[in-house]
Amino acid sequence: MCKHNNGSKIHLSIKKNERLKSRKSINLLFSESKQIKKFPIKLLWTEQKLNTTTNLQITFSVPKRKFKLAVDRNRIKRQMKEAYRLNCKELKTTLDERNYQIICMIIFIDKYKPTYKALEIAIQKALTQLNQELNS
In a domain, 21, yes or no: yes
Question: What is the three-class DSSP state of 66?
Answer: coil
Which residues sit opposite 19 in a β-bridge? Answer: 58
8 within a domain of the structure (yes/no): no
In a domain, 5, yes or no: no
**The model scores a pTM over 0.85:** yes
Asked if residues 29 and 23 have their Cβ atoms less than 8 Å apart, the reply is no
CA–CA gap between residue 12 and residue 83 (Å, rounded): 12
Per-residue pLDDT of the chain (136 residues; tens, 9 = 90+): 444 455 555 556 789 999 999 999 999 999 999 999 999 999 999 999 888 889 999 999 999 999 999 999 999 999 999 999 999 999 999 999 999 899 999 999 999 999 999 999 999 999 999 999 999 8
**Predicted pLDDT of residue 11:** 54
How many domains does the structure of the chain reveal? 1
For residue 36, is it within any domain? Answer: yes
pLDDT at 7: 55
User: Is 4 inside any structural domain?
Assistant: no
CATH number at residue 87: 3.30.230.10
* Domain span including residue 130: 16-135
Distance CA 28, CA 17 (A): 18
Alpha-carbon distance values, 52 to 15, 55, 84, 120 (Å): 12, 8, 20, 27
Q: State the burial class of residue 63 (Cβ atoms within 10 Å of its Cβ: 0-12, 13-18, 19+).
A: exposed
Determine the pLDDT at residue 50.
Answer: 85
- Please give the Cα distance from 67 to 110 (Å, whole number): 10
User: Strand pairing partners for 37?
Assistant: 42
Residue 114 lies in a domain: yes
